[in-house]
Structure 1
């Protein structure tokens, strides 16, 4: 056993939720921190008194001249007591510690994905001799709605939820068992399936596996028994291939897009559709993501009297649901996707969109905070609103066969069409990638099948080079 007398104790640190206004949020847990022989240690508690008492025990042991175990960080006198009073913790117990560690620093959508992943793998990490499991949907509802998220743990539990959680608490595997290859593989298989047993989307599996891997990394960091390394690195498992290519059938051309932008003005009462005409124009003509268009401010726009304009895209308003944000809002402002904090992306704006934005501002003004697009009450334009309006627009502008097809079925398909439009117009892929917010590799991987009509130009250039 590696021991040391070099011990330094720090104060208890409260862990707070993030607050949108920048003020300190509500305390959700308390972390005791200390250092043994230069190695930082920590332990999180639900109450401040628990963390303070734990540090007091460590302090008394250090004053008494006790040796501390470098691996666990505990004085030797506490090792037997911990072994007797607290066996190896279960996956369910570890999951709460992992979520509490991640929660304050992650975005609302990431919180959603975090609990989604843990709720997916947890029913697979149970003892073989456990009694028959409760219904899978009840287990998932119990974990997602009453147990994993910090704000849900004190909610009154319906009887079936209480029974499901009681079963999980008793059946959950201890961490050394979780690290075994067979159980790791069972978890990965669970990530690959939906509740109905059908295969999950490849992108979903990839996203969940990344969260699961990160949870195991935290177990390694905490030196959980059995986690000398990340068990996922030892299991040969091939994730499903992510089909990232855009289906060319979703791409709408300029003529049909123009017809849709006319048709949308006839949708809904009190100008509901007209409010979103320029919003859809931003997705198509400027290749914006919906969350980027929702966050677009008038100050972000250069709108000249003639010619091309420019957008400076620096923020997004992704939709996550009120239960995942600290202030109960449905949107939380974030930076650009896949970019460093504070990054700004320039997007060239064709005259048709410049005119559209100007007309929109003249008719509807801007929100109090400067956002160009807003609801009638000044709120953020949500996915339900722009999705419903677009669904009503397609039948007004397209033929029945086109309505039944994949053509621009989702508002996000307009962004795909905008990228395809520029690529097919001969704009260099490097420029399109920069303005669309993609890497060049991702752009070519995703849109390779949407580039048409280039062979003739290519052949002519080769002929000219060869002198033919």
Structure 2
């Protein structure tokens, strides 16, 4: 590297348009006999920060690279790849392979990895840093001007982020993995959260190997304590019984304008064990309904809520295949008489959206937002339960209706293989998830023990 200490730095120039309005700021400096170098910035703060770095390096006696014009502390090896650059390239390369939710979770995980790799000294605010990195990793928001603070935080991150090769150093990788075990508030992160973060890191490292930035995967060469991840079991205290479920549905029907259109929405979750995103994607063509009695629902698509910046369409949700299934694979769920009646009432009163969906937002006809139905659900709980019960776990979330449906089927004697098929689970996951809700088996076991004790 050809360097020099002969550096001259000029004052920052303000550039104006013909109307006299300042449009940008230019920082100019010169090395020895070379032509002047310059960098142009949109904001005054960014220009001042860059100018200050150059002046600081000059005062500290740091050599400047003649090729790039920058202090050697700000240059990188020609073959080195900045971690943040690699993370952005990884997101772009896999963008079309991932669902919007997967994009979002991976970007947030890579943001956490990047923050853990950045130095502590002279950091921008945590809020600006997280916002800047998340925006930068999202190809839909990368070009949005979020103001000087966000732009400055991104610029600082680009300059301060180490090369990908730094991950080969156990002294860097081990603290990074430890940092991924902790949330922003300092508390220990959930096992599933840690798994997602490490999976994103591993994916980016494998991409770096493909690109030639790394030779091997350093994660395979370092020993760390593995977090035990147990399947989250349903809390029986959160599961409503049939009478409580009917009372809640009845209360929803009395909640002004927002409640009545959502009675069948919640009914699908309770009587057919459908996930909220599956109910949002339900269309009239998926129903086989007699005038009364048992019908069938073919659950074919889902519309998960993710945010319009992560979708290709620019909408807050996109239609996709069911969870853990191929895109064209659905499942058939029985529709009990109670739900058949609710669906007929809904179709008669509210019809369908233009694309045949049963449930739609009141304003634009889009997806029913989780904020909307969550607010209705909270009001229904307050109308039905006492203050003490409202403060407890019983039916705390709308999703608990799905748990109640599956628990009712199992305790009603329906064989697990059929329940798993209706609910869209594997039998193994079904039995592990709902193990604590099989009250009938526990009661029968205790009766048998009591009978045995009488015999002695």
TM-score normalised by structure 1 residue count: 0.75
Q: Counterparts in 2 of 1:64-463, with a 5 A limit?
A: 86-126=78-118, 131-145=121-135, 147-225=136-214, 227-229=215-217, 231-232=219-220, 234-242=222-230, 244-269=232-257, 272-376=258-362, 377-455=364-442, 457=444
Aligned 8 A contact 1:117 1:208 in 2: yes
Q: Per-residue deviation at 1:233?
A: 6.1
Distance 1:395 1:378 in 2: 28
- Three-state SS of the structure 1 residue aligned to 2:360 is coil
Over 3 Å counting, the alpha-carbon distance change for 1:219 and 1:372 in structure 2 is: same
- Flag structure 2 segments of 5+ consecutive residues without an equivalent: 1-74
Aligned 8 A contact 1:185 1:237 in 2: no
Aligned 8 A contact 2:167 2:218 in 1: no
- Three-state SS of the structure 2 residue aligned to 1:453 is helix
Q: Counterparts in 2 of 1:22-61, with a 5 A limit?
A: none
- Three-state SS of the structure 2 residue aligned to 1:312 is strand
- Three-state SS of the structure 2 residue aligned to 1:278 is helix
Instruction: Give the root-mean-square deviation of aligned CA atoms.
Output: 2.5
- Three-state SS of the structure 2 residue aligned to 1:410 is coil
Distance 1:93 1:237 in 2: 29
Aligned 8 A contact 2:86 2:204 in 1: no
Distance 2:380 2:99 in 1: 33
Q: Per-residue deviation at 1:221?
A: 2.0
TM-score normalised by structure 2 residue count: 0.77
Q: Per-residue deviation at 1:189?
A: 2.3
Distance 1:306 1:300 in 2: 17
Distance 2:385 2:195 in 1: 36
Over 3 Å counting, the alpha-carbon distance change for 1:124 and 1:378 in structure 2 is: closer
Distance 1:426 1:237 in 2: 42
- Residues 87-130 of structure 1 show CA distances to partners (whole Å, capped at 9, x for unaligned) of 31111111111111011222111121121011111021236xx7
Q: Per-residue deviation at 1:232?
A: 4.7
Q: Per-residue deviation at 1:459?
A: 8.1
Aligned 8 A contact 1:180 1:231 in 2: no
- Flag structure 1 segments of 5+ consecutive residues without an equivalent: 1-82
Over 3 Å counting, the alpha-carbon distance change for 1:303 and 1:342 in structure 2 is: same
**Greater shift after overlay, 213-222 or 410-419?**
213-222
Partner of 1:41: none
Distance 1:233 1:246 in 2: 37
- Three-state SS of the structure 2 residue aligned to 1:151 is coil
Over 3 Å counting, the alpha-carbon distance change for 1:182 and 1:243 in structure 2 is: farther
- Residues 19-66 of structure 1 show CA distances to partners (whole Å, capped at 9, x for unaligned) of xxxxxxxxxxxxxxxxxxxxxxxxxxxxxxxxxxxxxxxxxxxxxxxx
Distance 1:85 1:219 in 2: 16
- Residues 185-244 of structure 1 show CA distances to partners (whole Å, capped at 9, x for unaligned) of 32322322221212222222222222222112212222323x423525643331253450
